A = this chain, B = another copy of it.
């Protein structure tokens, strides 16, 4: 906890996913919401097959999903979402002539049934 998934469509050639994850993790650490930086587990997925809407215009999206153990206030979640969206906006030069949607979603992980262990720490 937390788990972050970054999805980005394949038509965003200037988006560097490694750099993106580093910046998103830094924003999460800076939020002060997480005890240990070690706990933040993030991954990026390039989406090769996608379709936005039904029109023919070229479109793209970046979607961040942050899953947190349940119990945080709506206000804290809103702040986290906004701070991640601010990072996403600055991730790269967005391609000209492409409609790009950037979204951040937060969701709760059921705390009671979450189990975890660490090896080699």
Q: Name A residues whose Cβ lies closer than 8 Å to a Cβ of B.
A: 1, 3, 7, 9, 17-18, 21-22, 25-26, 29, 36-47, 49-55, 59, 61, 63, 67, 74, 77-78, 80-82, 84-85, 89, 94-110, 112-121
- Is the pair B81, A52 in contact by a Cβ cutoff of 8 Å? no
A113 to B102: give the CA distance in the assembly, Å: 14
- Is the pair B74, A51 in contact by a Cβ cutoff of 8 Å? no
Copies assembled: 3
Given A41-B61, A63-B3: A18 touches B51 (CB 8 Å cut-off): yes
Q: How far is the CB of A46 from chain B (nearest CB, A)?
A: 8
Q: How far is the CB of A8 from chain B (nearest CB, A)?
A: 10
Please name all residues of chain B whose beta carbon is closer than 8 Å to the beta carbon of A39 when the two chains form the complex.
53
- Is the pair B110, A106 in contact by a Cβ cutoff of 8 Å? yes
A-B contact pairs, 25 of them (CB 8 A): A3-B103, A3-B105, A7-B43, A9-B43, A17-B49, A18-B51, A21-B49, A22-B54, A37-B54, A38-B99, A40-B51, A40-B54, A42-B50, A42-B51, A74-B113, A85-B116, A99-B119, A99-B121, A100-B119, A101-B116, A102-B116, A102-B119, A104-B116, A105-B114, A106-B114
